[in-house]
Amino acid sequence: MTSERLNAEKQVLSRYLPPNTYLFKDLGTSCPYILMAAKTNRGNVYTIRIDLRDFPNSLPHAFVTKMLKTKTGEVMDSPSASMHTLTSEYGYTRICHYGFNSWGPKVSLYKVFIKCRLWLEMYEQHLKTGKPMDYYLNHQA
């Protein structure tokens, strides 16, 4: 990510999020990422990690920084269309936030965060009802 783009992303984030809710890590290395706190409507706080390796030119990987489980106790570490997950990395649940065909370099980190935040709301609905996340979320083309 260019320094110009990084500054633009920081401006957007500072406009919409409190400064203590996100932190850029390992910038200048081959594996930069951002950690972001996301509080759900139920008051639960999760940490989202968004990898920035080739951002914004390619779809970034996004994770909840722990291994989540389904309502029935299954570990969410594998691709699941009905649960909107991908293969885990770092021991974290990787979540699907944008389809490859929907991604473009104009998408901001804030928009990715909003999609992740929405995913967390649907995850908590799944925990409450047992219905797959597909019940609440449509797949992008």
- pLDDT tens per residue across span 50-66: 999 999 999 999 999 99
Instruction: Say what the pTM is.
Output: 0.92
Residue 28: give its domain's CATH number.
Answer: 3.10.110
Tokens 């500072």 sit at which residue?
A: 14
Vertex 83 angle, CA 76 and 9, to 5°: 90
What is the rounded distance in angstroms from the CA atom of residue 93 to the CA atom of residue 78? 8
For residue 141, what pLDDT band results from cuts at 50, 70 and 90? low
User: Tokens 């104009």 label which residue?
Assistant: 106
| 13 occurs within a structural domain | yes
Domain limits for position 110:
3-135
Residue 131 lies in a domain: yes
- Alpha-carbon torsion, ordered 83, 43, 114, 124, to 10 deg: 10
User: Considering the domain boundaries, does residue 33 fall inside one?
Assistant: yes
How large is the angle between the packed helices 109-129 and 3-16, nearest 10 degrees? 50
Instruction: Tell me if the bond preceding 32 is cis, omega within 30° of 0.
Output: no
Indicate whether 61 belongs to any domain.
Answer: yes
Q: How confident is the model at residue 140 (pLDDT cuts 50, 70, 90)?
A: low
Report if residue 111 sits inside a domain: yes
Q: What pLDDT digit, counting tens, does each position of 108-120 carry?
A: 999 999 999 999 9
Count of domains observed in the chain: 1
Residue 140 in any domain: the answer is: no
Supply the pLDDT for residue 78.
Answer: 96
141 is a domain residue:
no
